[in-house]
């Protein structure tokens, strides 16, 4: 008999074939960390409605996050902070966050599907899938976890730095965010290696 799964004792056949989906949120913003998630879904308990997180309403995305966290076999989250982004660049920081997310799931998956066209340099068997967050439920689930996690972090940060509108723009360079940068300058959570921030850092 197969061993019980980590979720409520549900048995999962062929556990060694379980696939992790990996996606990130926050490569483009001017402030805040980049966050990645890794998710292994339970093939015996499919979650309906999974899709690219950007295509979902906030309400639907939040509901799906709860389902994923309660019904997936494994969920891992990793991030790279602003200092790491500025030190090694956003692409390498994204790969670092992805690696941390996979390490956080607690097991080594047989295969990993990563949204995008490039892979981190890691020991895992993996495949990059362009548009994967709309093609593979496990990547869709990861995109939802990553975005919801990062959104919460930016909403919390907005309480400490209320001028920049992060509770709405999540650190992206909206008109209100850029106006606040001009008036108040960068915060410790701004990515100084990004040109729109660097121009105000040098003032």
pLDDT at 7: 45
Token match 């409520």: residue? 8
Please indicate whether residue 108 or residue 98 has the higher confidence score (pLDDT): 98
- CA–CA distance, 78 with 89 (Å, rounded to integer): 17
Q: Are the CB atoms for 177 and 196 separated by under 8 Å?
A: no
Share of the chain above pLDDT 70, in %: 91
Domains of the chain with bracketed CATH: 15-160 (3.30.420.10)
Burial class (CB in 10 A: 0-12, 13-18, 19+), 6: middle
Integer angstrom CA distances of residue 19 from 6, 40, 43: 15, 6, 10
What's the distance, Cα to Cα, between the start and end of the chain in Å?
67
pTM (2 d.p.): 0.90
Q: CA-CA distance, 62 to 144, in Å (whole number)?
A: 8
Q: How confident is the model at residue 132 (pLDDT cuts 50, 70, 90)?
A: very high
Residue-wise pLDDT tens digits, 62-95: 999 999 999 999 999 999 999 999 999 999 999 9
pLDDT at 10 over 50: no
Strand 19-25 with 34-40, pairing? antiparallel
What's the pLDDT at 17?
66
DSSP element (H, E) containing 183 = helix 175-184
């Amino acid at each position: 008999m197969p061993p019980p799964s980590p979720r409520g004792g549900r048995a999962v056949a062929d556990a060694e074939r379980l696939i992790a989906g990996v996606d990130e949120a926050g490569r483009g913003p001017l402030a805040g960390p980049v966050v990645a998630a890794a998710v292994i879904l339970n093939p015996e308990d499919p979650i309906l409605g999974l899709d690219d997180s950007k295509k979902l309403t906030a309400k639907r995305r939040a509901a799906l996050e709860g389902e994923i966290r309660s019904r997936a076999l494994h969920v891992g989250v990793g991030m790279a902070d602003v200092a790491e982004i500025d030190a090694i660049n956003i692409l390498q920081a994204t790969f670092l966050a992805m690696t941390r997310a996979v390490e956080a799931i607690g097991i080594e998956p047989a295969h990993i599907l990563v949204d995008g066209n490039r892979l981190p340099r890691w020991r895992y068997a993996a495949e990059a899938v362009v548009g994967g967050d709309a093609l593979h439920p496990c990547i869709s689930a990861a995109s939802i976890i990553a975005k919801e996690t990062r959104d919460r972090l930016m909403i919390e940060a907005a309480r400490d730095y209320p001028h920049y509108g992060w509770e709405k723009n999540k650190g992206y360079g909206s008109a209100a965010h850029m106006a606040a940068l001009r008036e108040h300058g960068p915060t410790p959570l701004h990515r100084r290696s990004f040109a729109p921030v660097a121009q105000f850092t040098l003032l």
